[in-house]
Amino acid sequence: MGKRTKDSKIKDNKGPGGHPDHQELIPRLRRAQGQVDAVARMIYERQYCPSIIQQLRAATAALKALEATVLKTHLGHCVRDAMKSKSEAEAEKKINELITLFKRGNE
């Protein structure tokens, strides 16, 4: 989501195409990528299974946190904009996107 300013309003951080800018998440994504690389290394080194599982859980938690951040931004910008647009078709489209997204997440 956009950065909060002193007056607690959300600053718009949309980039080209009107989509929010998620570049501030890249360091967190790289950290998760490093955790996944560590899992691969641990497997190649035949490390102890619980240690591998612990590292897998850390990577999974990092990715879930990133997912939640992107979802929060999507709801706060894209979905909110569609609801404010007074276009019933645009609002319906966003609702259907969310339904599909949540269905896929539970498969």
Distance CA 21, CA 62 (A): 19
pLDDT confidence of residue 107: 67
pLDDT at residue 85 in the model: 87
Q: Which residue has the tokens 């490093």?
A: 34
Predicted pLDDT of residue 7: 38
The pLDDT assigned to 54 comes to 97
pLDDT value for 2 = 47
- In 3D, which of 6, 7, 18, 16 has the Cα closest to residue 73? 18
The parts of the chain modelled with pLDDT lower than 50 are 1-11
